[in-house]
Chain A
Amino acid sequence: MILKPHLEDVQIIGYYLGKITIGIGLFMLVPVICACALGEINPLLDFLIGIGISFLVGFLLTAICFTDRDLNWMQGMIVVSLCWLLAMLLGAIPLFLSGHYRSFLDACFETMSGFATTGLTLVQDLDHLSYAHNLWRHLIMFIGGQGIVIVALSLFVKGFSGAFKMYVGEARDERVLPNVIHTSRFIWLVSVVYLALGTLALGITGIINGMKPFNAFFHGACIFMAAFDTGGFSPQSQNVLYYHSFPFEIITIIIMFLGAINFKLHYHLWTGNFKELAKNIEMRMLFFTVTITFLLVAIGLYKLHTYPQALMLFRKGFYQLISGHTGTGFQTIYALQFNEWGDLALVGIICAMALGGAVCSTTGAIKMLRIGIIFRALKEDVKRIMLPEKAVLFEKFHHIKEIFLEDKQVRSALLVTLCYLLLYFIGALVGMLCGYPFLFSLFESTSAAANVGLSCGITSVTMPAVLKTTYILQMWVGRLEFMSIFTLLGFIVAAIKGK
């Protein structure tokens, strides 16, 4: 028997949604300050309208649904899944008002792509977009990378036990520190330290390359936010290709790697546990999968003579691969140039995108810990077949500490992997129904669902609305890693069928 949800459940969900909505409105103050400083009057009005609507929705929800009760697991999960949709709708308002989007759906696509740190874009005439709107595009990526709820937790909430439920709902199943609020603040510390270092490095490189100092540091900050949060937006329509700079590419590769590392590992490395880098199963798997998938790409490109020199192969092949593997989506080639890559190289990139970076990082996709666990389980099964029946077998892996492999870990890793594979293929199927070839449909679908952002040319303002909607849903489901979405679906079913 399914139990019908109580009105109290809706009230608690509404109250916390309202709180987070106010938080989103407050974040719009950053582009407002930018617009004021640079004298951008029209963008200023766009953001004031956005803030007004966010505050109206937020205060109405908190007033109507006021409660002093804490969240339970189901409510926490539902708040997370709904707050991402609400954030998309509210964040899209100033972007739509900019006039650079053909429809509100396109603006929603852009906002979900930003919050989910995907990087697929439908903006028109990006090179003439205002600084304030451009900053907002990158800021939503930064907020989404940390997790919308993480941001709200660390800045606007003093502490409550429901915090951990929302933290888990946002696909962050590891706590760096015992207290979830301290964990979210540490995530902010790492991000801000790297923001300063990365912006400085990219800004100086920009100045050396001939950019004006203001532009160099503005671009540096935007590119850093997009790289560290493995997002992939860029202030220019040509993406990273715009900079035509090898040092710029090297710095962004390093930042993409840093973004793909587990925040828990950052903590251990920053506090003196240096050996963890070599022993950690995720870092070992990342090295292994990057090498294997790059070999596929390199051999594929070499056979087709796509690039005439080794350095070109590295700059084009390896860059797109790391961008795909870490879930960033920066490109140093035009989208349609993937046509010249051939099937083998495309399969290599698709595999890299499907795998992703570390858990509790800003990347999406299946992730290295799960791949590592599946490999270990496979190894254990092979051993079981080869050893005598009475032999006692146990497999362990190193992730911060030595962990014995248990069936429930394997089951969970396999279930999430299966869900991701299904999600990739559903998107590919919709792409094919819209008339695109299989490999390209799979490429774009994997890119959306794994929150990568590489595009082989399908994502454009002219693609069918059904495909835009499919990609929005894939980005949302892929970023939240299924559990909170399934809980929301269960809640809806219970509300309809429950007794």
Chain B
Amino acid sequence: MTQGKLILRAATGIALEILYAFIVMGVALLACVLLYLKK
């Protein structure tokens, strides 16, 4: 496998890890908004 492909795979992996963090943050933010909308 070429060096470029290896780097691309690693970059995709990093992007997915960051996406996971954003999903968890999004769920938490949504919960906050829903809690205050109830008021």
Contacts and interface: CB of A to CB of B under 8 A. Distances in A.
A82 to B, nearest CB: 35
Contacts of A310: 29, 32-33, 35-36
A294 B31 contact: yes
Interface residues of A, number: 34
B36 A309 contact: yes
A258 B28 contact: no
A141 interface: no
A259 to B, nearest CB: 11
Given A266-B13, A318-B28, A313 B35 contact: yes
A295 interface: yes
Given A272-B9, A277-B17, A318 B35 contact: no
Contacts of B21: 253-254, 257-258
Nearest to A255: B21
Interface string B1-39: 000000001101110111011111101110111011000
B29 A314 contact: yes
B13 A270 contact: yes
A283 B12 contact: no
B24 A287 contact: yes
A314 B32 contact: yes
A311 interface: yes
The A contact surface, by secondary structure, is: helix
Interface in A274-327: 274, 277, 283, 286-287, 290-291, 294-295, 298-299, 302, 309-311, 313-314, 317-318, 321-322
A311 B28 CA distance: 10
B15 to A, nearest CB: 10
A307 B23 CA distance: 23
B32 A270 contact: no
A452 interface: no
Most A C-beta atoms less than 10 A away, residue of B14, B17, B35: B17
Contacts, number: 80
B25 A298 contact: no
A269 B17 CA distance: 8
A155 interface: no
A286 B25 CA distance: 12
A322 B21 CA distance: 10
Nearest to A273: B13
Contacts of B25: 250, 253, 318
Contacts of B33: 310
Given A254-B18, A258-B17, A314-B28, A270 B35 contact: no
Contacts of A318: 25, 28-29, 32
B32 A298 contact: yes
A197 B36 CA distance: 35
B13 A302 contact: no
A314 B23 CA distance: 14
B17 A294 contact: no
A271 B25 CA distance: 26
B4 to A, nearest CB: 14
Nearest to B35: A302
A80 interface: no
A261 interface: yes
A271 B14 CA distance: 10
A315 B36 CA distance: 14
Contacts of A270: 9-10, 13-14
B9 to A, nearest CB: 5
Interface string A443-455: 0000000000000
19 contacts: A253-B25, A254-B22, A257-B20, A257-B21, A258-B21, A266-B17, A277-B17, A277-B20, A286-B24, A290-B28, A291-B27, A294-B31, A298-B31, A309-B36, A310-B32, A314-B29, A318-B29, A318-B32, A321-B28
Interface of B: 9-10, 12-14, 16-18, 20-25, 27-29, 31-33, 35-36
